[in-house]
Chains A and B, each alone.
Chain A
Amino acid sequence: MLVRTFRSAASLLIVMTILLGVAYPLAITGIARLAFPRQATGSLVVRDGKLIGSTLIGQNFASPRYFWGRPSATTPQPYNGIGSTGSNLGPLNPALLDAVRANAKALRDADPGNGLPIPVELVTASASGLDPEISPAAARYQAGRVARARGLTAAQVERVIASLEQGRVLGFIGEARVNVLALNLALDELNGTAAADGAAAR
């Protein structure tokens, strides 16, 4: 009896492993690569033939001319693509408050004249450490700094933010947000066009 049970168990496990562990993922991969090639391979962003990232994976930005994303708790560097993690700091942990203070100070130092209250996502670490997005409030908070650093008007930057803003799905699911990489690339393009126009005018 027990021998028969072992035989059935072992053969069923092998059959199921082939079906569920090999055939199923292969079939899904085949269909997904045909039907959704961009999504299946990571929504990659290529510029001038060079892979510069993924629209779904945030990148670290630190200079005032770029919008900054969420603080990232990955190690050793922030936004480490193969080290996804949150900070796991509890609400009373002094290290959490230290991090919040340091992030707030960096934002204020980069933009001393900005009297707006700092939106909470700009000082708190995301869950994945790779959050590609910030809220519209967090984008607008930084708009003045970015505009000055780039020699653009606040209205120009606000227009780019508005054009990239994504609302809630069906109006009530999830949150409104702006993709940071897309925003920064759009601004680089805007500056590039302006520079080219300037060169042409000369």
Chain B
Amino acid sequence: MIPDAMFQFMLLVFLGIVVLCVKPLGGYIADVMEGRPIFALRVGGRLEAALYRLCGVDAREEMNWKDYAVALLVFNVLGALTVYALQRLQAYLPLNPQQFAAVSADSAFNTAISFVTNTDWQGYSGESTMGYLVQMAGLAVQNFLSAATGLVVAIALIRGFARHTARTIGNFWVDLTRSTLYVLLPLAAVLALVLASQGVIQNFDGYRDATTVEATTYQNPKTDADGNPLKDAAGNAVTEQATTSTQTLPMGPIASQEAIKELGTNGGGFLNANSAHPFENPTPATNLLEMIAILLIPFALTYTFGKLVGDTRQGWALLAAMLIMFVSLVMIAYYSEQHGNPLVAKQGIDQVASAAQAGGNMEGKETRFGIAASALFAAVTTATSCGAVNSMHDSMTPLGGFVPLFLIELGELAPGGVGTGLYTALMFAILGVFIAGLMIGRTPEYIGKKIEALEMKLASIFILTTPFVVLIGTAIAVSTVAGKAGVANPGAHGFSEILYAYSSAANNNGSAFNGLSANTVFYNLSTGLAMFVARFWPIVAALAIAGSLAAKKRVPVTDGTMPTHGPLFVALLIGSILLFGVLTYVPALALGPVVEHFLLATAH
């Protein structure tokens, strides 16, 4: 089979599996979140009730949107403080066999916000920074809870549409507990064991020293007495020849964390190379499972939405829009990467795909994934808020790297993160019906609710916050010494590194053009702030919309109602998303990947 057909077949099978899971999983999530007496809730009922008693929660008590938002914010701020404290105190805590020292204050601040906001941007290198307790009790716990936070906001917004003349949108504690206990935890446990069976490690051993088959001779940078690297008169590092036959192998409870990292669209790797590391993602099969896990819940939530608003066609329409955008962009990434780098081809290097090699642009990619499974993963991880990587996006071709960047900038809604994707898509649905309403001169409606001035203001705040943070953050970084100091690649690509960093942080993705040296005070503080503002400001706006919609009367469907479940609406939704994304980001994209593409195409 020719490689392109092979890729298309893999894409078809992959999306087929994901779409087959949409109805059963989406229906199950709807049942769980509405507390219907299904098997799982009957089994877990005792534990759940005990948990509420312990935490002083009255499960029958409903909250209005403000109380819901306050509970969510308090819970997440406490979570961030815990992750910060665990990192700063790790030298005194158990399960730290490598005896890592406390993480620096700015890095710990960045990482705490990063994991609480479901971003999982990583300025640090996992295997040489974080002990097992910080990974498990700090980072992995937030992998669950930040995903659950996104999910409950989506459910609250759905209730806004589903309920009428209601004052409340649910109980935050109950929603959070149920989404964790009945959705995330069981799926993660199963996936963790499957991954472990395929070679993802899961232990509490100290790192192991192996004696390699051949000794490695290398240039070791010399340091002065304080451990600072020595430089010669020309500013180059002074090195001395060294030889080693020791390879230290990192260990740790990785499978349990890897599972929720993907299922919760978190993306924070236990190890620096993330899902490119063979201990996190050892085979093409684990890679496929991890990609499925990333898309599983975000796509399923479209059905949850349809079921809870009493019209599943509404959910399928959102799913169709998401799929169309996803497939179009993943194709661009694949063809661009498979085409390879013309400058490398000029060196007499064989980049042609065949049965015996993947070919294409293999810089920053793993042999077992090749081009197809790397390009697909790059799109999957940025079409959601995941941000795990199995290849280095910084080394992608200009158009290949444009795809993840643009998917992030569109707002991660094709299908987006757990919960976040659905509520972001609903915001654009509101924008879409508003634009359509302007064109035909009627008050816009969506799912039986009139969309009025308050909802439009809140939806605008929601939609505008993130681009504002991205573009202002990028502008500051490119005009300051501290910002430019982090850039690794020269020219337009260096600009892309900065643009990608703020796009990723503000959209809570977490992937990076990783050459950027982001573990500095400037980047730790600025991206930390970007992640926090662009996560919780839109969440509060979404909850406010939920409260406002829930209070409204239901509008009966008439001949004048615009249907929001057909191809016309799907096109309108995609059009609104693209219009907004293109208008907002084209100037910035033109300076980065677009310029770089033409430079590469004309390079000799």
Q: Which residues of A contact B (CB under 8 A)?
A: 1-2, 4-13, 15-17, 19-22, 24-25, 27-29, 31-33, 35-36, 39-45, 50-54, 56-63, 66, 70, 76-94, 96-97, 100-101, 104, 117-121, 123-138, 140, 168-169, 172-177, 181, 184-185, 188
B225 within 8 A of A: no
Question: Which residue, A4, A70, A90, A181, has most C-beta atoms of chain B within 10 A?
Answer: A90
The answer, among B358, B496, B599, for a CB contact under 8 Å with A135, is: B358
Q: Which residues on the B side are within 8 Å of A87 (C-beta)?
A: 363-364, 392, 395
Chain B residues with Cβ below 8 Å from A82 are 127-128, 207, 248, 250
Check A174/B373 contact, CB under 8 A, given A9-B74, A84-B127.
yes
Please determine whether A22 and B347 come into contact, CB atoms closer than 8 angstroms.
no
**Cross-interface CB contact of A13 among B56, B78, B257, cutoff 8 Å:** B78
The CB with the most chain A CB atoms within 10 A, among B189, B210, B340, B351, is that of B210
Complex contact A53–B247 (CB within 8 A): yes
Assess the B285–A169 pair: CB atoms within 8 A: yes
B6 and A172 form a contact (CB under 8 A): yes
Contacts of A123 in B (CB 8 A): 344, 347, 349
The CA-CA distance from A100 to B395 in the complex, in Å, is 13
**B141 contacts A5, CB within 8 Å?**
no
In the assembled complex, which residues on chain A have CB atoms less than 8 Å from the CB atom of B180?
16, 20
Interface 9-mer from B132-140, B421-429, B434-442, B544-552: B132-140
Contact B196 A8 (CB under 8 A): no
Min CB distance A94 to B, Å, is 8
CB distance from A86 to the nearest CB of B (A): 4
0/1 string, B201-233, CB within 8 A of A gives 1? 111110111111110111111000000000000
Greatest chain B CB density within 10 A among A20, A44, A61, A136 is at: A20
Nearest residue, chain B, Cβ from A167? B355
B315 to chain A, nearest CB (A): 29
Which of chain B's residues 335-375 have a Cβ closer than 8 Å to chain A? 340-341, 343-344, 347-351, 354-370, 372-374
**Contact indicator B344/A92 (Cβ below 8 Å):** no
Report the minimum CB–CB distance from A166 to chain B (whole Å).
9
With known contacts A127-B365, A174-B369, A92–B596 Cβ distance under 8 A: yes
Contact segment of B23-31, B271-279, B467-475, B571-579: B271-279
Contacting A at CB under 8 A, from B233-289, are: 242, 244, 247-251, 253, 255-257, 271-273, 276-279, 282-285, 287-288
Can you list 15 contacts pairing A with B, beta carbon distance less than 8 Å? A20-B144, A32-B192, A32-B255, A41-B201, A42-B203, A58-B278, A82-B127, A92-B343, A125-B363, A126-B364, A134-B367, A135-B358, A173-B287, A174-B368, A181-B213
Residues of B within 8 A of A (CB): 1, 6, 9-10, 13, 51, 54-57, 67, 70-71, 74-75, 78-79, 82, 125, 127-128, 136-138, 140-141, 144-145, 173, 176-177, 180, 185, 188-189, 192-193, 196-205, 207-214, 216-221, 242, 244, 247-251, 253, 255-257, 271-273, 276-279, 282-285, 287-288, 340-341, 343-344, 347-351, 354-370, 372-374, 389-392, 394-398, 488-493, 496, 513-515, 596, 599-600, 603
In the bound complex, CA of A36 to CA of B286 (Å): 15
Report yes or no: B513 in contact with A21, Cβ–Cβ below 8 A. no
Residues from chain A with Cβ under 8 Å of B355 in the complex: 176
A123 to B214 alpha-carbon distance, docked (Å): 20
Judging by beta carbons under 8 Å apart, are B54 and A15 in contact? yes
| Residue of chain B at shortest CB distance from A136 | B356
**A96–B218 Cα gap in the complex (Å)?**
19
B357 engages A81 (CB within 8 Å): no
Q: How far is the CA of A13 from the CA of B251 in the complex (A)?
A: 27
A52 to B208, CA, bound (A): 10
Q: Are B276 and A128 in contact (CB under 8 A)?
A: yes
Question: Are B202 and A175 closer than 8 Å at their CB atoms?
Answer: no
Determine the chain A residues whose CB is within 8 A of the CB of B492 once the complex forms: 92
Given contacts A41-B205, A97-B347, A174-B284, contact A28 B192 (CB under 8 A): yes
Q: Which residues of B contact A63 (CB under 8 A)?
A: 214
- Chain B min CB distance to A56 (Å): 4
Task: Please determine whether B283 and A129 come into contact, CB atoms closer than 8 angstroms.
Answer: no
Which 10 A-B residue pairings sit nearest by Cβ, starting from the closest?
A174-B284, A88-B515, A21-B137, A127-B276, A86-B392, A84-B273, A175-B370, A90-B493, A137-B357, A137-B356
Report B-chain residues with C-beta under 8 Å of the C-beta of A140: 356
CB contact under 8 A between A56 and B284, given known A118-B348, A120-B340: no
A89, B78: Cβ atoms closer than 8 Å? no
Q: Among B75, B200, B210, B211, point to the contact of A54 (Cβ < 8 A).
A: B210
Contact partners of B78 in chain A: CB under 8 A: 6, 9-10, 13
Inter-subunit contact B395/A59 (CB<8 Å): no
- With beta carbons under 8 angstroms apart, the residue of B125, B173, B368, B396 that contacts A175 is B368
Sample of 10 more A-B contacts, CB < 8 Å, known A12-B177, A172-B6, A175-B358: A5-B71, A8-B173, A42-B251, A62-B216, A77-B242, A82-B250, A93-B493, A118-B348, A121-B357, A124-B344
Among candidates A2, A41, A78, A126, residue contacting B70 with C-beta atoms closer than 8 Å: A2
Q: Is the CB of B213 within 8 A of A66?
A: yes
- The reply to whether B75 and A12 contact each other, CB–CB distance below 8 Å, is yes
Instruction: Give the nearest-CB partner of A53 in chain B.
Output: B210
Inside 8 A of B600's CB, which chain A residues have their CB? 91-92
Q: Which residues of B contact A96 (CB under 8 A)?
A: 343-344, 363, 395
CA separation between A32 and B252, bound complex, in Å? 12
Which residue on chain B has the smallest CB distance to residue A31?
Answer: B193
| Contact in complex: A36, B196 (CB < 8 Å) | yes
| A33 engages B202 (CB within 8 Å) | yes
The answer to whether B279 and A51 touch across the interface, beta carbons within 8 angstroms, is no
Q: How far is the CA of A50 from the CA of B246 in the complex (A)?
A: 12
In the assembled complex, which residues on chain B have CB atoms less than 8 Å from the CB atom of A81?
A: 207, 210, 247-250
A21: shortest Cβ distance to chain B, in Å?
3
Instruction: Known contacts A77-B218, A88-B395, A175-B284; decide if A8 and B71 are in contact (CB<8 Å).
Output: yes
Q: Give the Cβ gap from A167 to chain B, nearest Cβ, in Å.
A: 9
B363 pairs with A24, CB closer than 8 A: no
Closest CB in chain B relative to A34 CB, distance in Å:
11
Bound: A115/B252 CA distance, A: 45
A16 engages B145 (CB within 8 Å): yes
Assess A169 versus B255: contact at CB under 8 Å? Given A54-B210, A84-B272, A118-B348.
no
Report B-chain residues with C-beta under 8 Å of the C-beta of A35: 193, 196-197
User: Whole-angstrom distance from the CB of A189 to the nearest CB of chain B?
Assistant: 12
CB distance from B67 to the nearest CB of A (A): 8
Taking CB as reference atom, which chain B residue is nearest A10? B78
| In the complex, chain B residues whose CB is within 8 Å of the CB of A124 | 344, 361-365
